Amino acid sequence: MLKQGLQQKLLQKLSPQQIQLMKLLQVPTIALEQRIKEEMENNPALEEGRDEAEEEVDNDENEKTDIEDEQTAEPDTDESTEPEPITHEDDDFNIDDYVADYDDSPDYKYSANNSSKDDETYEAPVTVAATFQDQLLAQLGLLPINERDLRIAEHLIGSIDDDGYIRRDLAAISNDLAFTQNLDVSVNDIERILKIVQTFDPAGVGARNLQECLLLQLQRNDNGSEEYKHAQLIISKYMEEFSRKHYDKIAARCGLDDAALKEVINLVLKLNPKPGNSGYDGPRSVQHIVPDFIVVNNEGVLELSLNSKNMPDLRLSKTYVEMLQTYGKEKNKNRGNREALQFVKQKIDSAKWFMDAINQRNETLLGTMSAIMNYQYEFFLEGDEKLLKPMILKDIADIVGLDISTVSRVANSKYVQTQHSTFLLKRLFSEAMSTESGEEVSSREVKKILEEAVASESKKRPLPDDQLMKLLNDKGYNIARRTIAKYREQLGIPVARLRKKL
């Protein structure tokens, strides 16, 4: 049975402007330019450029003099050139009041104009090189093989990844050949062709796992010495023990002393575990870090700035502003004019909202980063991680008067450039730990001491977690063994057994 009724609900929702600001806060500088270009493509009322006032400032001295002469001249008394404010009873807003902000205030800016006409511009050259698979196909073309084997070999080369491995099962490759090329090929035939591909340069290419890759390289470079003989024996039969660094077991089973085992290990360590990387000289995808903040030490005084050098200037499109004025001054508006007026107004509103969001983003970023810089002032001056104070998101949120989620968005994926290094902003946040004297220290300080302890240990007898815990406890840091293990994993330090060297 259907019923109709009225009810009231109290809801709290974010406005579109707030949602847009929250999204822009998360965008790093390296992606902000692309985000602005997308907005300009979607909104024709938003365009790139500088206002007339700034262009006049950049003119030479003669142009400035001409402008001053024109300003001292008598003003034009023709009243017919000054438009009168027009308000229509059927309009819900005043056109002149609506565009007043655009006419009286400077354009929305979010980049510093610190470039000169004499600055040199550099463009990255575009390089064209043969890919890793192209080099293998070139070697394949030199072999006298039939058409069927050639197609199988080409498919195998296409299945090799960037590391030089074929990680797919040969049975799956057989099915691929049947469906894509209508070739009924057995696994034995594929393995026969794979042996041919594995003879290509670089050595080890086409291997199905690390063990096979190392064996291929040892067999290719075998000079008949005892080191190569023992190395092939160890890799073929004791690969698991070798990867776990159980050198005592390997020495006992192979009848090697420490000196001979060390020579064999050094020989294996010189092999390339990823032959695909060595066989490709073409361009690689490199992730460049673009800092969002720049902190400069000016004789003991820290100066903070946003990295906005590559950001374009934004302004409202004068064409759309003139269109809005034209449609608004028409006394008799038909349906088409009203729809056009509403469309232009929506686009200008959207452009203003976006520029306001950019301004608020910059203010929020600068305010939050300024609080972080002042909180960790000694660290930014010296660059020593031991000077880091314990700092969590709530500490900064209380200082700047923002929500913790907002501070988290600011710190997410943002980089800071200092005179010492460029690092991720989230690296400065750490939990507090207490010493024996009751003083609170940062967990980053403890991690730094842990790194130094591992770096100075004897590689023949690495320190286990129990001894690392005792070492830090002797220095006054109350830390448990499980915390040592957690910090060691976060730092990418393996366990003591895997750090052992002969």
- The string of pLDDT tens digits covering residues 47-64 is 876 655 555 555 544 455
| Amino acid found at 314 | L
- Could you tell me the pLDDT band of residue 79, with boundaries at 50, 70 and 90? very low
Q: Judge whether 188 and 241 are in contact, CB under 8 Å.
A: no
d(CA 67, CA 55): 12
Measure CA of the first residue to CA of the last residue in the chain; give whole Å: 83
pLDDT (mean) for 317-343: 77
Inform me whether the pLDDT recorded for 284 exceeds 80. Answer: no
306 touches 366 (CB < 8 A): yes
Q: What is the pLDDT of residue 372?
A: 92
Mean pLDDT, residues 4-17 taken together: 75
> So what's the pLDDT on residue 25?
77
pLDDT at 406 over 50: yes
- 25-40 pLDDT tens trace: 777 877 888 888 888 8
pLDDT of residue 466 exceeding 50:
yes
- What is the structure's pLDDT at 106? 41
Closest to 292 measured CA to CA, from 274, 278, 273, 311: 311
Cα separation, 331 vs 376, whole angstroms = 62
For residue 373, the tally of other CB atoms under 10 A from its CB is 19
Q: Degrees (nearest 5) of the Cα angle 243, 228, 157?
A: 70
Find out whether 262 and 278 touch, Cβ atoms under 8 Å. Answer: no
Give the residue carrying structure tokens 């027009």.
86
Who has greater pLDDT, 442 or 71? 442
* Angstrom distance (rounded) from CA 473 to CA 450: 11
79-83, 175-179, 286-290, 392-396 — which is least confidently predicted?
Answer: 79-83
Token pair listed for 360:
């608020």
Q: Hey, what are 343's tokens?
A: 């469309």
Distance in angstroms (rounded) separating the CA atoms of residues 478 and 166: 49
Here the contacts of 238-246 (C-beta below 8 Å, separation 24 or greater) are 239/210, 239/211, 242/268, 244/497, 244/498, 245/497, 245/498, 245/500
Q: Across the chain, what does the average pLDDT equal?
A: 77
189-200: buried (b, 16+ CB within 10 Å) or exposed (e) per residue? bbeebbebbbeb
| Range in 73-82, 139-148, 236-245 the model is least confident about | 73-82
Residue 99 reports pLDDT greater than 80 = no
pLDDT tens across 245-262, in order? 888 888 888 888 878 888
Kind plus residue range of the DSSP H or E element containing 85? none
Please report where in the chains the tokens 């100075």 appear, as a residue.
456
Tell the residue number behind the tokens 């269109």, with chain if given.
323
CATH class for the region spanning 434-499: mainly alpha
pLDDT band at 399 (very low <50, low <70, confident <90, very high): very high
Tell me the per-residue pLDDT of 188-232, one tens digit each, with 9 for 90 and over.
988 898 899 889 888 888 888 988 898 898 888 888 788 888 888
Residue 239: pLDDT over 70 = yes
Q: What is the mean pLDDT of residues 146-168?
A: 87
In 321-408, DSSP assigns E strands to none
> Residues of the chain with pLDDT > 90: what percent?
3
Question: What confidence score (pLDDT) does residue 163 get?
Answer: 85
- pLDDT tens digits, 469-478: 888 888 877 7
Q: CA–CA distance from 224 to each of 220, 231, 288 (Å)?
A: 11, 11, 46
